């Protein structure tokens, strides 16, 4: 991922015009709907959980909650994924995991997201239940069965193994690769 990541960094920095062109080509209205995003990423035939995960990703990047991604939200999402600081990424992960928006992550929410990620990536190395158990054993120090944002961030930062696992599981490089390849394919045409 290292060399490709720097390639994506270069694309983000040097080809903003191409990102904008890609964005406007995919959505001439200047707004991307959830359906358009799924079409752009060629995400057909997903399981219900994987489909729900993509929905949740979309809504976490829809910062103003209007049901669309505008160009600023689109670039902010790409920038966060490529260059975001650890705390920024952890806050985004938390928002993504907190499906009911109550400010806490419970085991079911976390397990649902990890199952969905595995369905999308087709990587089933560690069962989601095992991941959730590990996270809660190490981070849920009060034993409440749910994590606040503060507990989640401090726990992930204090446990490099959990941080590494989260980073690997939440790596959306393959999504960015689809966008970049689509950009290059359209630029050639």
- Rounded distance between C-alpha atoms, residue 22 and residue 15, angstroms: 11
Q: What's the whole-number average pLDDT of the chain?
A: 78
Q: In this predicted model, which residue has the larger pLDDT, 2 or 87? A: 87
User: Alpha-carbon Rg of the chain, whole angstroms?
Assistant: 17
Look at residue 77 and tell me if it is in a domain: yes
Q: What residues make up the domain containing 85?
A: 8-181
Q: Is residue 187 part of a domain?
A: no
Tokens 């062109």 belong to residue:
21
Q: Is 3 domain-assigned?
A: no
3 state DSSP class of 163: helix
Q: What is the CATH number of the domain that holds 112?
A: 1.10.238.10
Banded pLDDT at 159 (limits 50, 70, 90): very high
Report the pLDDT averaged over residues 68-75.
87
Average pLDDT over residues 95-100: 88
- Residues 28-56 have pLDDT tens digits of 888 988 888 777 766 666 777 777 878 88
Asked if residue 140 has pLDDT above 50, the reply is yes
When pLDDT is cut at 50, 70 and 90, the band that residue 12 belongs to is low
Examine residue 186 and state whether it is found in any structural domain, yes or no.
no
Residue 110 has pLDDT above 70, yes or no: yes
Residues ≥6 apart with Cβ < 8 Å to 174:
121
Instruction: Say if 189 falls within a structural domain.
Output: no
Q: What percent of the chain has pLDDT over 70?
A: 78
Distance in angstroms (rounded) separating the CA atoms of residues 181 and 154:
36
Any domain includes 141: yes
Residue 1 predicted with pLDDT over 80: no
Structural domains in the chain (count): 1
């Amino acid at each position: 991922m290292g060399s490709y990541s720097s390639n994506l960094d270069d694309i983000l920095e040097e080809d903003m015009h191409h990102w904008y062109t890609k964005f406007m080509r995919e959505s001439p209205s200047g707004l991307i709907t959830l359906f358009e995003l799924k079409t752009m990423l060629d995400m057909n035939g997903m399981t219900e959980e994987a489909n729900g995960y993509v929905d949740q990703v979309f809504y976490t990047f829809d910062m103003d909650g209007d049901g669309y991604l505008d160009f600023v939200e689109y670039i902010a999402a790409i920038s966060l994924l490529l260059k975001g600081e650890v705390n920024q990424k952890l806050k985004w992960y938390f928002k993504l995991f907190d499906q009911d928006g109550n400010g806490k992550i419970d085991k079911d929410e976390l397990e649902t997201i990890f199952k969905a990620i595995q369905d999308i990536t087709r990587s089933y190395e560690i069962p989601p239940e095992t991941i959730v158990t590990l996270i809660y054993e190490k981070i849920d120090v009060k034993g409440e069965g749910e994590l606040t944002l503060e507990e989640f961030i401090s726990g992930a930062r204090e446990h490099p193994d959990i941080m590494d696992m989260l980073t690997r599981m939440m790596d959306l490089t393959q999504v960015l690769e689809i966008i970049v390849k689509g950009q290059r394919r359209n630029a050639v045409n």
